[in-house]
Amino acid sequence: MGRPRVFIIDDHADFRRLLGHHISARWPDAELQYYDPVIAGRLPATFAGAGSDIVLLGHPAAHADALEWLRQLRSVPHCPPVVFLGNGDERQVVAAIKAGAEDYITKATLSHARLVEVLEQVQAGRAVPGTGKAAIPLPPGGMPGLPGYGFLRVLSEGDISSVYLARERAGGRIAVLKVLRQVPDAGTDRHFDRFLQEYELIARVDHPNVVRIFDLGVADDHAYIAMEYCSRGSLKRRITAGISSEQAFAWMRVIAGALAALHAVGIYHRDLKPTNIMFREDDSLVLIDFGLAKQAQFKAGITGTGAIFGTPYYMSPEQGNGSIVDQRSDIYSLGVVFYEMLTGARPFEGEVAMAVIIQHREAPVPCLPGSLARFQPAIDRMLAKRPEDRFQSADDVLAWRPAAQAPASAEGQ
């Protein structure tokens, strides 16, 4: 990248200077122009970048939605590429890309390396001829060349798979691509075979609370699944914000209904946890990210030092032991999620994975506070140590109802 000319728009002088510092540290001869939306107001409707190579647009702009500024900039002929710097909200990411941003950077996680990488990609001339727009950049290591999809951004990367936000080139639909890191030789990996078989079944499951699978296949030596994008975040966010007991019970039943549909065709989720329970734009709840083989899932859940990434908190005792699991293991995980929705805390905690796994196997089922006691019988059944002592099916969970609550013990009194 040669001498870049960068136009920086942001409400906060300190952040504008920070961006300039990162750019100058990499390109000492860079030409920087700073624009304060609060003092200077809205850019002219004909503003085309003032001779800059790149525009860095921070959100908010003049205390308002910078997406409107982005749409205005992209409507002007010959406007340079715009990199949007926002709050990291998934809906904002998608909206910015749709509005024409060449890339998106979350302000809270801004790093020198990330900013330089983006500027180099944009300035490198990865442009689609005749469009004035930068071509779709690839993440470090590159997204596999999957037919029909354009890369938007990396959502997560793991030992087993990587997850990307992408756009269908034909219809423009936003999709989530889950891509296995490597396809084993055909017929040599039964877990991989089962992975493909299960997602083929899931694609045929017609249930409003099971993620919609758009596509499934193998390309560029990678297996991939294209599924719907749920823009309103995960259940984990809702738990952090606080959920009423009645809402928790209602969502637990929705999840149980989705599990019943999966279990009816012989699929076990095996990785049920709040981050795998998402919400669509219409706020309907969706189960996503069905686990790979339990051995692979367990390996991904624990680091080499034994630190917990999340999965062991929701494992049934038999799953933690590496034993064969059935639908009753999903019911146990649902019990953990239900307990967490009700109380805001998980039933068992620990510094290392094995400590949590042992508690699932040996520690008594925790008691809910008095105001939630009407749900204790369900928690006791779901979190029973022995599978035969639990609800035996998701339909049994749906059939359960809490006893009427006495007025004196009502929440909030």
Over the stretch 144-167, which tens digit does the pLDDT of each residue have? 667 788 878 777 766 566 788 888
Least confident of 4-13, 146-155, 387-396: 146-155
Question: Helix (H, G, I), strand (E, B), or coil: what is residue 268?
Answer: coil
More confident residue, 93 or 17: 17
Please list the residues that pair with 154 across neighbouring strands. Answer: 164
Nearest CA to 4 out of 135, 119, 176 is that of 119
Over the stretch 47-58, which tens digit does the pLDDT of each residue have? 888 888 899 999
Over the stretch 71-88, which tens digit does the pLDDT of each residue have? 999 998 888 999 999 988
Catalytic residues: 271
Compute the mean pLDDT over every residue in the chain, rounded to the nearest whole number.
81
Q: What is the pLDDT of residue 405?
A: 62
- 172 to each of 87, 101, 130, 164, how far by Cα in Å? 24, 15, 19, 15
Q: Is the pLDDT of residue 126 over 80?
A: no
Quick one: average pLDDT of 286-302?
52
Q: What is the pLDDT of residue 143?
A: 60
Quick one: average pLDDT of 205-227?
84
Q: Is the pLDDT of residue 232 over 70?
A: yes
More confident residue, 74 or 198: 74
Q: What is the pLDDT of residue 153?
A: 79
Q: What is the pLDDT of residue 35?
A: 94
Structure tokens given for 20: 């300039």
Over the stretch 374-384, which tens digit does the pLDDT of each residue have? 999 999 999 99
Q: Which domains does the chain have, with CATH numbers?
A: 5-123 (3.40.50.2300), 149-228 (3.30.200.20), 235-409 (1.10.510.10)
Q: Residue 362 burial (CB < 10 Å; 0-12/13-18/19+)?
A: exposed
Q: What is the pLDDT of residue 193?
A: 64
Quick one: average pLDDT of 32-39?
93
- End-to-end CA gap in the chain: 65
Structure tokens given for 108: 């809270």
Over the stretch 242-283, which tens digit does the pLDDT of each residue have? 999 999 999 999 999 999 999 998 888 888 999 899 999 899
Quick one: average pLDDT of 166-183?
80
Name the phi and psi angles at 290, rounded to 5: -65, 135
